[in-house]
Amino acid sequence: MTGLSTDEPLLELRDVHAGYGGITVLHGVDLKVAAGQVVALLGPNGAGKTTTLKLAAGAHAASSGRVFLGGRDAAGARAGQLARAGVCLIPEGRGIFPNLSVRENLLMMTFAGRRAQAEVEEHTYSRFPVLGTRRAQPAGTLSGGEQQMLALARGLATDPAVLLLDELSMGLAPLVVAELYALVAEIARGGVAVLVVEQFATAVLKIADHAAVLVRGRIQWQGTPDHALHAELSSYYLGTPS
């Protein structure tokens, strides 16, 4: 798998079942994300949201059903193959190297050969100016918002076609979350398919094109994130941001 076509949804899950140790977590999930689209996958803790992202990234196998990337069946493809095809997962907890500097974290993303170090740094510091002022600072000493910016910058350095985000808002102040989601919307406008997992709906629904509610491993609702959705969400115990 060496590339993804934009003639089909860049990411599609069809009747996917998956679990751990004989316990089924996902029960027939259907989901599509097109190029240039932000899809919010919402639901309470334990709903199966992170498992869905792991399936899309090749980090967990489905027990049945299919995952398609750019219209191509990704059955059997491993995480490394999907990453080379343009799938990027930014996990909960950000996945940066805390003991390396900002610049060294970016350098780690150039080994695949898609972009030179200078180009990666130029794009990063123009999009995230604060990281330019922190380039020699250990990533673990950055603020939570700056660490999330670095995680996004590392992901964008791979030129992803599909960007998978797990709990982008975790532990961050509302103003920082709003800034990060504005950047996510900008990334999608560049043609990237973005699937965002969130427990708290408010911020992501402001920039999402489509939303799905996952409860106990089943999609309970899908549609556009208009005002009617908020009333619908309350019945599924999503909670509200603090």
CATH of the domain at 58: 3.40.50.300
Question: Which segments of the chain does DSSP mark as H helices, in order?
Answer: 49-57, 79-85, 102-107, 117-127, 129-133, 144-156, 174-189, 202-205, 227-234
Quote the CA–CA distance of 130 and 74 in Å, as a whole number: 38
* Residues 74, 106 within the same domain: no
CB atoms within 10 A of CB 122: 13
Quote the CA–CA distance of 204 and 26 in Å, as a whole number: 23
In a domain, 91, yes or no: no
Q: In what order do the strands lie in the sheet with 64-69?
A: 23-33, 11-20, 64-69, 72-73
For the cut 70, the answer to whether the pLDDT of residue 7 exceeds it is no
Quote the CA–CA distance of 145 and 196 in Å, as a whole number: 17
Please state the φ and ψ torsions of residue 86, each to the nearest 5 degrees: 115, 15
Total domains in the chain come to: 2
Mean pLDDT across the stretch 2-25? 84
Asked which of 106, 127, 159 is the last residue of a domain, the reply is 159
* Residues 197, 137 within the same domain: no
Please state the φ and ψ torsions of residue 35, each to the nearest 5 degrees: -60, 135
Q: What is the DSSP letter of 179?
A: H
Quote the CA–CA distance of 109 and 127 in Å, as a whole number: 17
Q: Is 126 helix (H, G, I), strand (E, B) or coil?
A: helix
In a domain, 196, yes or no: yes
For the cut 70, the answer to whether the pLDDT of residue 179 exceeds it is yes
Q: In what order do the strands lie in the sheet with 87-90?
A: 87-90, 162-166, 193-198, 38-42, 210-215, 218-223
For the cut 50, the answer to whether the pLDDT of residue 240 exceeds it is no
In a domain, 112, yes or no: yes
Cβ atoms of 46 and 65 closer than 8 Å: no
pLDDT band at residue 67, thresholds of 50, 70 and 90?
A: very high
Mean pLDDT, all residues of the chain:
88
Q: Which of 52, 55, 32 is nearest to 43 (CA)?
A: 52
In a domain, 128, yes or no: yes
In a domain, 92, yes or no: no
* Residues 68, 41 within the same domain: yes
Residue whose entry in the numeric block shows the structure tokens 């670095």: 150
Mean pLDDT across the stretch 35-62? 93
For the cut 90, the answer to whether the pLDDT of residue 92 exceeds it is no
* Residues 38, 66 within the same domain: yes
Asked which of 159, 176, 202 is the last residue of a domain, the reply is 159
Q: What is the total residue count of the chain?
A: 242
CB atoms within 10 A of CB 6: 14
Cβ atoms of 33 and 68 closer than 8 Å: no
* Residues 103, 81 within the same domain: no
* Residues 191, 218 within the same domain: yes
Quote the CA–CA distance of 45 and 51 in Å, as a whole number: 12
Asked which of 159, 174, 197 is the last residue of a domain, the reply is 159
Domain that holds residue 101: 97-159
Who has greater pLDDT, 128 or 235?
Answer: 128
